[in-house]
Amino acid sequence: MNDCIHIYCDESCHLECDRQKAMALGATWCPASYRAALSRKIKAIRKRFGLSPVFEIKWTKVSPGRLDFYLALIDLFFDEPLLRFRAVVVPDKSLLDHFRFNQSHDDFYYKMWYLLLTHLVDDKHSFRVFLDIKDTHGQEKVRKLHEVLCDSHYDFDRQKISDIEQVHSHDVPLLQIADLLTGALSHLHRDIHGSPAKQAIINQIRKKSGHNLLFSTPPRVEKFNVLVWRSKDNA
């Protein structure tokens, strides 16, 4: 296999009863050998805008005073050919019928992670996956996700997908970029207005990606890939 690929995963509004219409799961990914260089570039952008080296990049922190900083991060993402993003958006959680499919919302959440991740796995690379810690009880579900993902790709010896690890986002700059991009998609699909700074970031992503982000991109799009998920009943 060639270079190991690292996949950094985050989510927005994934809870069942959070009164938010849409949920989004997103992942940035790049060759493992490239992650240190990317982290240094993110650190340099922080320094350029006078922010602490440990300032955590988060969609919820976007504000007019830091808009140029966040736009610089969006530009960094699109300017780096080896840094890519994939997301799965569930546009209306109220339409989900978990009882019909004998599942909990938590089960559905991990099914969506499978749907996102399985698209990224190929036969040319090995993979390590890093999930932002959702709660203190998620490790068993993460192990199951790893098992199902490996089995579906005939990776019974765990050579292709070596592990899926829960990490804290404040320690991982590329996971923070996933937070920013995923947050933007979630904001758009929840049809929220009132923040010109956040709208400016969404507009920049639309411009740079060439997609309106409200619909799925073609499956083969690699740089900024979006799947807007719908059940067969509501397709």
Identify the segments of the chain with pLDDT beneath 70.
1-2, 13-19, 97-98, 135-137, 232-235
CB atoms within 10 A of CB 87: 27
Full strand arrangement of the beta sheet holding 4-12: 161-167, 126-132, 4-12, 23-31, 84-90, 224-228
pLDDT, position 2: 65
The pair of structure tokens assigned to 166 is: 């829960």
- Sign of the C-alpha dihedral, residues 128, 129, 130, 136? negative
CB atoms within 10 A of CB 181: 27
CB atoms within 10 A of CB 233: 8
Give pTM, 2 decimals: 0.92
Nearest alpha carbon to residue 198 among 89, 58, 45, 75? 58
- Say if strands 4-12 and 126-132 run parallel, antiparallel, or are unpaired: parallel
Nearest alpha carbon to residue 167 among 211, 133, 209? 133
pLDDT, position 232: 66
In the chain, how long is the greatest CA-to-CA distance? 52
pLDDT, position 39: 95
pLDDT, position 136: 57
pLDDT, position 101: 74
Query: Which domains, from first to last, does the chain contain?
Result: 4-234 (3.30.420.10)
Nearest alpha carbon to residue 42 among 76, 65, 8? 76
pLDDT, position 16: 56
Residue with tokens 């799965």: 88
